[in-house]
Structure 1
Amino acid sequence: MTTFVTLTAYGLADGAVLALAALGFVLIYKATAVINFAQGEFLLVGAYTFYSSFVIFGLPVTVSVLNGVAIAVILGVAVERFVLRPLIGRSPISVIMVTIGLSAILTAIMQLIFGTEARAMPPVLPRGSIEILGATLPVQRLLVVVVAAVVLTAFTLFFRYSRHGVAMRAVADDQQAALTMGISVRRVFAMAWALAAVSALIAGVLLADITAVDPHIATFGLLVFPVVILGGLDSVPGTIVGGLTIGLIKMYTFGYLDPGLADVIPYIVLVLILLVRPYGLFGETRIERV
């Protein structure tokens, strides 16, 4: 029982971070129909940005977070404006290749500045342990779930009730209709990339706090693809369910089966979902008549 509780707590923490990372992916896809292969690198940039402010410059946590948010917004808007916008109307494969190239460039820049060695970061979330059902669990893992839940709830409320959130949903549903209603589609595109970068920043900071500031954070972002395929490419609630599901499956596989298989099982789930339900659990099924 203690093993199950421990694996569940660790799986929920990893899944919560995955849900935050996948949220940015879904935002970009819903608003712009772009599959962003650089989402993992956005996590990497977010982690190193916070690390620079918090450790190198010695700024308080709150200021470091605000500084990271500002840089994430600038990065997201810059990528949309100068990298993706000139490709409007080009073939999807061209856009995909550009995002793959962007991921390589961001990784190279981070390694050029900070090197390839993992760096320990002073605690951001409180340390300590708590006993639940006989299992001793680290407090920081539980707080990761709480923080991610608050952020995901805030994003959900933003999309549902705010003016900008309604505009983003309108553009995602029908760009031409949104234009006729006076909604700036280009502004919504920029906002989607900015919010995706912010969600990746938060995910990167949480991941760095429970592990380390490491270039391999970007590879963790690859798990975004099983998450969004499971939950649905265009479903925000699906990212939450998909993230938690993949996190739990990965951790249960690690604890009960084979640690090596744990790195593969998310992609096995991805293939199975594509074969059985290609639109995911919550994705919108689109039927095109030709």
Structure 2
Amino acid sequence: MSFFLQLIFSGIVLGLVYALAALGFVLIYKASRVVNFSQGQFIAVGAFVAYWAMVSLGAPFLLAAALALALTALLGFGVERVFLKRLVGQPIISVIMATIGLASLLDGLIHLTPYGAGNFSYPSFLPAGGVTLLGVQISYAQLLAVGFTLLFLLAFTWFFQRSTLGVAMRSVADDQMAAMSLGVSVERVFALAWAAAGLTAAAAGLVVGTISGLNLDGLVHIGLRVFPVVILGGLDSIPGAVVAGILIGVLENLAAGFLDPYIPGGGTRDVFPFLVLLLVLWFKPHGLFGTEEIERV
């Protein structure tokens, strides 16, 4: 029983990371109907900026985290203003291909730094050990990761429900033409959506770095593993991103824990999310919480 609960809790922690990363996908898609293929690279940028600040500048974790969040949000804002703004009005496939090119560019730039290869860990800033709950060993790093993620998700919920900018972003997501007629700057909302996506990506990178260390390929791979999450939850659903992230994380862990011993070579953790993706596309292509859109052809 304790093994099962351990898998469940570890899956929830992993799922919260997926939820943060998926949130960036959803924000950009809701605002502009663009799928961002560079989210994994944004995750890596945020994680390594914090590592650089802690190791090279001697910054405490909270200051390094704030710097990583700010710089990655600024990167997202700058990418939209400098590159993607020029593609407004072009076919969506052109913008999607631009995000694939952006992913390759960021990947190459990171490989030019000392962080392009090898494994890294944040300097220790938490006491060793943890707590035991219902037979489940929970490290202080996992507790911090869960608390940080939940706080971040609550802050985003408040932002979209209560703030003027958040309401403007929601209005653009619902109906761009109606929002423009009410004086909402759609271009500004697009830029803010990319900044917010950078923010959530950095948050995901910080959580990963705290609980399992840093590796460029592993961080970028998270960006790919988030696709089943956004498909399951719905490309345009923020609550769906959170629910699907946790669900995929738990199912992935359970598959690894109970199926790997019976499968030569194991590896069900890597395959399972994409099996879910195929099943969702087959039975419910708009996801659990996505909006069904009927287009005339």
In 2, distance between residues paired with 1:52 and 1:263? 29
Give the CA RMSD over aligned residues: 1.3
In 1, distance between residues paired with 2:243 and 2:209? 23
Aligned equivalent of 1:221: 223
Aligned equivalent of 1:118: 119
Q: Are 1:49 and 2:49 counterparts?
A: yes
8 A contact 1:123–1:209 mirrored in 2: no
Aligned equivalent of 1:7: 7
Letter in 2 for 1:138: S
Shift of 1:124: 4.7
Letter in 2 for 1:219: H
Structure 1 gaps of 5+ residues are none
Q: 1:60 to 1:136 in 2, by over 3 A?
A: closer
Aligned equivalent of 2:237: 235
Aligned equivalent of 2:80: 80
Aligned equivalent of 1:65: 65
Aligned equivalent of 1:131: 132
Aligned equivalent of 2:201: 200
Aligned equivalent of 2:249: 247
Letter in 2 for 1:34: V
Q: 1:124 to 1:204 in 2, by over 3 A?
A: farther
Shift of 1:61: 2.1
Q: 1:25 to 1:78 in 2, by over 3 A?
A: same
Give the structure-1-normalised TM-score: 0.96
Deviation per CA, 1:72-93: give whole Å up to 9, x if none. Answer: 1220111101111111121222
Aligned equivalent of 2:291: 284
Three-state SS of the structure 2 residue aligned to 1:280 is coil
Letter in 2 for 1:107: D
Structure 2 gaps of 5+ residues are 261-265
Give the structure-2-normalised TM-score: 0.94
Letter in 2 for 1:81: R
In 1, distance between residues paired with 2:291 and 2:138? 38
In 1, distance between residues paired with 2:258 and 2:69? 39
Aligned equivalent of 1:265: 272
Letter in 2 for 1:9: F
In 1, distance between residues paired with 2:59 and 2:9? 31
Shift of 1:5: 1.1
Three-state SS of the structure 1 residue aligned to 2:83 is helix
Give the % identical residues. Answer: 47
